């Protein structure tokens, strides 16, 4: 079996496994009929969508499977960022001190999954919304912009999140 065919099979299996896990979480049932129909549906949908679920150009499991220790650490860090940003938003509500701008910057992350996690982490943090993610370019609406320099704004918005996410998905 050549490398391309093996990667095709791995993508199919990962997609089917992920879909089956989602099925188990949402049905919350361990009844035999539910397990069987979930498996059949996951394999069927996995066969149709595995080329979309995992990109062909990321033919390495490091791009898909996260580092579990760094992932758990990042979950705690993102919660701290959420509380910190929430306090800033609360202060802005009472003082009215905001300077909204749209900033453009690049990320150093190579994995599509890592870039998507960064964009979503920026969006769930109060005061920032990711408007566009195109390859390694991000467009973000930032409520507390204090600079006109794109690189400095990017470092302030993505901050330490990018470094932590880079440790999870190299």
Residue bearing tokens 């390694």? 136
For residues 156 and 101, membership in a common domain is answered with: yes
Please report the pLDDT score of residue 29 as a whole number. 85
Residue 102 lies in domain: 68-168
Domain count, the chain: 2
Strand-pair category, 101-106 with 128-134 = unpaired
Per-residue pLDDT of the chain (170 residues; tens, 9 = 90+): 787 788 788 888 988 998 999 999 999 888 999 999 999 999 999 999 887 777 666 656 666 667 788 889 999 999 998 999 999 999 998 998 888 999 999 999 888 888 889 999 999 988 899 999 998 899 999 898 888 887 888 888 888 888 889 888 76
Contact present, 86 and 127 (Cβ < 8 Å): no
Contact present, 29 and 63 (Cβ < 8 Å): no
Please report the pLDDT score of residue 56 as a whole number. 67
Contact present, 57 and 148 (Cβ < 8 Å): no
Q: How far apart, in whole angstroms, are the C-alpha atoms of residue 57 and residue 110?
A: 11
Strand partners, 114: none
For residues 152 and 120, membership in a common domain is answered with: yes
Q: How far apart, in whole angstroms, are the C-alpha atoms of residue 65 and residue 10?
A: 12
Please report the pLDDT score of residue 118 as a whole number. 92
For residues 95 and 164, membership in a common domain is answered with: yes
For residues 32 and 82, membership in a common domain is answered with: no
């Amino acid at each position: 079996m050549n490398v391309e065919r093996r990667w095709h099979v791995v993508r199919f299996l990962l997609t089917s496994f992920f879909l089956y896990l989602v099925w188990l979480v949402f049905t919350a049932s361990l009844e035999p009929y539910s397990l069987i129909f979930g498996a059949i549906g996951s394999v069927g949908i996995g066969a149709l969508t595995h080329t979309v679920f995992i990109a062909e150009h990321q033919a390495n499991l490091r791009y898909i499977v996260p580092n579990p220790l760094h992932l758990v650490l990042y979950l705690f860090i993102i919660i701290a960022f959420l509380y910190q940003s929430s306090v800033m938003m609360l202060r802005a509500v009472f003082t009215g001190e905001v300077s909204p701008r749209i900033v453009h910057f690049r990320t150093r992350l190579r994995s599509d999954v890592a870039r998507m996690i960064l964009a979503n982490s920026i969006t769930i943090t109060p005061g920032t919304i990711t408007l566009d993610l195109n390859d390694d370019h991000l467009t973000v609406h930032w409520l507390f912009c204090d600079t006109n320099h794109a690189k400095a704004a990017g470092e302030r918005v993505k901050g330490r999140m990018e470094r932590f996410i880079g440790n999870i998905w190299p």
